[in-house]
Amino acid sequence: MSQLEVLAALSPVAFEYDVNACSSSLPASFPRSHQERILANALINGLITAPHIAHGHDTPLANTQDGEAQDDADVTIPGLPPLLRGHPNIHLRNGVINALHLAIAGESDAEKAFFVADLSRVLQQHKRWMANLPEIQPFYAIKCNPDPFVLRLLAGLGAGFDCASMGEISQVTNVGVDPSRIVFANPCKAVSFIRNAAKAGVDMMTFDNTDELYKIARCHPSAKLVVRILTDDSKSLCRLGLKFGAPLVTVPSLLGKAKELGLDVVGVSFHVGSGCYDSLAFADAVMRARSAFDMGKEVGYDFTLLDVGGGFEDDTFETTASILKNAINEHFPDRAHIRIIAEPGRFYVSKAFSIAVNVIARRAPPTLEEDSPEDDVDPEHPRVMYYINDGVYGSFNCILFDHQAPQPYVLSLNGSFHVPASVPLRASSVWGPTCDSIDCVCPVTQLPSSLQVGDWLAFDNMGAYTLCAASQFNGFDVSKVIYTAGSGVSAVEVRDVLRAFES
362 beta partners: 386
Distance CA 315, CA 127 (A): 16
User: Residue 110: phi, psi to the nearest 5?
Assistant: -65, -35
Question: What is the SS3 assignment for 229?
Answer: strand
Residue whose C-alpha is closest to residue 286's, from 258, 313, 311: 311
Q: 435, 440, 442, 468: which is the annotated catalytic residue?
A: 435
Count Cβ neighbours within 10 Å for each residue of 188-209 and write b for 16 or more, e otherwise: ebeeebbbbbbebebbbbbbbb
Cα–Cα nearest to 253, from 320, 314, 207, 184: 207
DSSP-assigned states of every residue in 103-153: HHTT-TTTT--EEEEEHHHHHHHHHHHHHH-TTEEEEEEGGG---HHHHHH
Furthest-apart CA pair in the chain: how many Å? 85
For residue 276, indicate whether it is catalytic. no
pLDDT number for residue 235: 60
Q: What is the mean pLDDT of each run of 10 residues along the chain (503 residues)?
A: 42 32 37 51 44 39 45 74 94 93 87 95 98 97 95 97 96 96 95 96 96 97 96 62 78 96 97 73 93 96 96 93 96 95 96 96 77 57 91 86 87 90 91 88 93 95 84 73 94 95 89
Residues 6+ apart with CB under 8 A from 233: 239, 240, 241, 271, 272, 273, 276, 281, 311
**% helix / strand / coil in the chain, to the nearest 5?**
40, 20, 40
pLDDT at residue 46, rounded to an integer: 42
pLDDT at 19: 34
Q: Which amino acid is at 410?
A: V
- pLDDT for 419 equals 87
Enumerate domains of the chain plus CATH numbers: 84-117+350-365+380-484 (2.40.37.10), 146-344 (3.20.20.10)
